[in-house]
Every structure is written in C-alpha cells, then in structure tokens.
Amino acid sequence: MSDDKVLVEKGDGYAVIKLNRPDRLNAFTPVQNTTLLEALTQADDDADSRAVILTGAGRGFCAGQDLGERNPDDGTPDLGRTIDTYFNPLIRKLRAMQIPVICAVNGVAAGAGANVALACDIVLAAKSAKFIQAFAKIGLVPDSGGTWTVTRLIGEARAKAIMLTGMPVTADTAEEWGLIWKAVDDDALMTEARALTSNLAGGATVGLGLTKMLIQAAGTNTLDQQLDLERDTQRDAGTTTDYAEGVSAFLERRPAQFAGRR
C-alpha cells in the first residue's frame, strides 16, 4: 500500500510508513487516515515486515486533523462520528499490532498527530520536534487516546498542565518526563530509527509481540492477574521455534537466527 499521501517503503525486514502532506504539516484528512490504517494493517499481516517505522515528510510529523476541512460556515460537524470512523481505529490498530511500531517524530506533532505518535511502541524524536496538545486552543478535548496514554506516561499533574494550556513540550523535555523514549539529533533521527527497527526486525517476533501485549495489559491488571497472564503467555512463547532457536544459539555460543515465526 503506497499512495502519495502515505508512502510505504520496504526496509530490511521492516516497513517505513511516511505521512506525506508536508505543505499541511501532514495534517490528517479522511483519505490519509484510511490509507495509514491500511498501511499499518498490511505491514502487520506481511510475514516479511517484522517491525514498522512511522514518520512524516518535510518539517513536521503531523499537525492533527486538517482544520481546512472544518469550516464553521459549513455547519456543525459530528466530531464523535469522525473520531469513531478515523482516529479511534488508528489508535486501536497501533496498540493491537503484533510487531513493534517505532515512531520517528521528525518535527512538530500536534493534536491527534501527537497522540498517534505517542500510541506507538517506541518513540524517538528529533531534538527540534515538539509535542503540542493543541486541542485546548480550538475548544476541543484531547482525543486519539491522549488523555489515557499521556496521563499514564507522565502522570496527572503534567498531563493536565500540557493539555489545559496547549503548551509545546520539547523533545528533550518529553524524554526527561518519560513521554517518549529518546530525543536524538535531527540529522541522526532516521539512522537511529532504522538501526533500532532493524534490530527489532531480527528479533523473536512472536515473543516481542507477546511482550508488548503483556506490558499493555499491566496498565489495568492487578498483580495477580498479571502473574497469571505472564504464566500463560510464557507457556505460549515456549512453544515457538524462535524460543528453541534462542536456547540452542545460547548453548552453541552463536548468534541466534530468529525466523520470526511460531
């Protein structure tokens, strides 16, 4: 899947998905939303793609909903419907993907653009990038899972401050607060993102996918529930060929060659 609004490129064992409306800072239109969801679904279903990089073209990552499509003179839109149709499926897909999704935030990430980035599994950001919960500036509430994700990542005090004020959060501060994994020099962003993703793509894909699900479940499980879930999931992981290969490689003192299959 590749059209001019969302570009898909194959890396070595992974897919690079790039939002591509640079003149609008990659703001979301229905077509871009739908195409992005299709690209993520296709990567998740493709046995040759064992990880994904999500990034943006030009100087921005994504400025959220394209406000050019929301002219108040056209009447009152049903924003609940657009969220149900476009944004929520995207966040659900990112969380449910069985392969790691690395977000390389190349520039400003605002509104739903920020929360799509923060729903990814590992977030790297160029030092010049900023995260802006822009919703307050236009009379909306944070969406795309922002109130859930951001509050869990940085706590209520910081979440309320950035969401009520709409103040930009720099990449360095985002790293310091634990909102993202790492801020990197602008010209090193894609090199680092590719190195990390390539490494993950060569890993024990089923085990990595199960690890992601366990971490996500931990947010709402009790310790007892999580212990049981870890037991059941480990039982499953122990049946994979990658587990057998990992142990054999260790015993034979050689690098493991994971096939990324059960």
> Smallest gap, in angstroms, from Cβ of residue 64 to ligand T3D?
2
Residue nearest to ligand T3D (CB): 64
> Considering the complex, what minimum distance in angstroms separates the CB of residue 4 from ligand T3D?
17
- For residues 25 and 196, which CB has a smaller minimum distance to ligand T3D in the complex? 25
Q: What sign results for the dihedral spanned by CA atoms 129, 63, 122, 254?
A: negative
Q: Which is nearer to ligand T3D, 65 or 205 (CB)?
A: 65
SS (H, E, C) 69-106: HCCHHHCCCCHHHHHHHHHHHHHHHHHHCCCCEEEEEC
Nearest approach, Cβ of 200 to ligand T3D (angstroms)?
Answer: 28
In angstroms, give the least distance from the CB of 61 to ligand T3D. 9
Query: Whose Cβ is closer to ligand T3D: residue 67's or residue 244's?
Result: 67
Which chain residues interact with ligand T3D by CB under 6 A?
Answer: 24-25, 27, 63-68, 70, 79, 82-83, 108, 110-112, 132, 134-135, 137-138, 140, 143
Residue placing its CB nearer to ligand T3D in the complex, 9 or 78: 78
Which residue bears the tokens 């993950």? 200
Q: Which is nearer to ligand T3D, 26 or 205 (CB)?
A: 26
Min dist CB 242 to ligand T3D, Å, is: 39
* Class of residue 65 by CB neighbours under 10 A (exposed 0-12, middle 13-18, buried 19+): buried
